[in-house]
Amino acid sequence: MEIKLSDFKKGMKGKIIDVLENPVSTKLAEFGILPGVAFSILNRAPFKGPIFIQIDNNRIALRFKEAAFIVVE
């Protein structure tokens, strides 16, 4: 069963398994969103708003639809 980053709740931690092909996959890779990278959810805006994650010392805001392309564990 695939779990998407968009399903994670605030405070949860995980590891990126795969980034599905999408229009912004190149930009996500530039931000360091790559398979094998550990992350934590800093905050989630309500009503499918942005999801704020931390990878190492970098904080990244993702649209809900972008987070749905990221497979995690």
pLDDT 10s digits, 50-73? 999 999 999 999 999 999 999 999
Kind and range of the H or E run holding 27: helix 25-30
pLDDT at 4 exceeding the cut of 80: yes
Task: Determine the Cα angle at 3 with ends 60 and 20, to 5°.
Answer: 65
Is 3-72 assigned to CATH 2.30.30.90?
yes
Q: What was the pLDDT predicted at 1? A: 73
Can you give the residue ranges of every domain in the chain? Answer: 3-72
Q: Read off the pLDDT of each residue in 28-55 and give the average, rounded to a whole number.
A: 97
CA distance 35 to 6: 16
What's the pTM?
0.92
Q: What was the pLDDT predicted at 2? A: 82
